[in-house]
């Protein structure tokens, strides 16, 4: 296991049809240091597909096997993860989470173009309406690293990618020695431990 990574890992997530892959490809075109991991393809190439869900018309991924297969890549850093599921990746190895959002009318048209079954379209529209992925991201990662961006027009994508490029450049300036693969950017565990020690000291004094 590598102790530190010198490049950040970026997770681009959102409901199918929100433009995750287009954003990821555009981003790695602008930053050649980054690698695009379209998880659907990675799962196939690393034998992490374990079946097919007929009802949802989608492949079933063995998440444990998938994570085991990409852990070394994430520890090396510089990975742009592109997937609709966001809460399975280790918090310590993720530096930025982009949640793409899309108007339901536009999203419906995009999914229809992909020839999704009506039941699959309805399910994905419900996920977008209920903010399911955004909530999962905020519950799974430090809220400060979770950013929601609109993804409806080509102008949105260009602006979003430029924002991420700027963030990437600033991250490198601020982390010249990289970040720990044990704690990542989140040092709250250390702060929590210190606060607990202070609380114990106060309790000792009061007794």
- Whole-model pTM: value is 0.86
Contact 82, 24 (CB under 8 A): yes
pLDDT-above-70 percentage for the chain: 88
Evaluate if residue 186 carries a pLDDT over 60. Answer: no
Per the prediction, the chain carries an average pLDDT of: 89
Q: Which long-range contacts (CB under 8 A, 24 or more apart) does 184-188 make?
A: 184/91, 184/92, 184/93, 184/94, 184/95, 185/95, 185/142, 185/145, 186/91, 186/92, 186/142, 188/142
* Per-residue pLDDT tens over the stretch 6-21: 999 999 999 999 999 9
Was 194 annotated as part of a binding site? no
Q: What is the Cα–Cα distance from 132 to 134, expressed in whole angstroms?
A: 6
Phi, psi of 45, deg, nearest 5: -70, -25
Was 20 annotated as part of a binding site? yes
The 8-class DSSP code of residue 153 comes to S
Give the pLDDT of residue 190. 27
Look-up of token digits 């106060």: 202
Was 114 annotated as part of a binding site? yes
Q: What is the Cα–Cα distance from 91 to 97, expressed in whole angstroms?
A: 10
32 vs 203, which has greater pLDDT? 32
Domains in the chain, start-ordered, CATH in brackets? Answer: 4-206 (3.40.50.300)
């Amino acid at each position: 296991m590598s102790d530190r990574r010198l490049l950040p890992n970026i997770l681009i997530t959102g409901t199918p049809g929100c433009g995750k892959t287009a954003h990821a490809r555009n981003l790695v075109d602008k930053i050649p240091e980054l690698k695009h991991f379209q998880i659907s393809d990675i799962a196939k190439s690393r034998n992490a597909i374990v079946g097919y869900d007929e009802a949802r018309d989608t492949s079933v991924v063995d998440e444990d096997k998938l994570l085991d297969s990409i852990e070394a890549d994430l520890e090396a850093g510089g990975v742009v993860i592109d997937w609709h599921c966001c809460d399975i990746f280790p918090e310590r190895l993720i530096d930025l989470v982009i949640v793409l959002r899309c108007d339901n009318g536009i999203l419906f048209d995009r999914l229809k173009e992909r020839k999704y079954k009506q039941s699959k379209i309805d399910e994905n529209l419900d996920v977008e309406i209920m903010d399911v992925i955004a909530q999962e991201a905020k519950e799974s990662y430090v809220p400060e690293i979770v950013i929601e961006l609109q993804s409806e027009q080509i102008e949105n994508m260009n602006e979003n990618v430029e924002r991420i490029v700027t963030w990437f450049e600033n991250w490198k300036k601020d982390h010249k020695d990289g970040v720990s693969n044990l704690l990542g950017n989140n040092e709250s565990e250390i702060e929590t431990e210190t606060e607990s020690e202070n609380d114990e000291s106060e309790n000792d004094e009061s007794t």
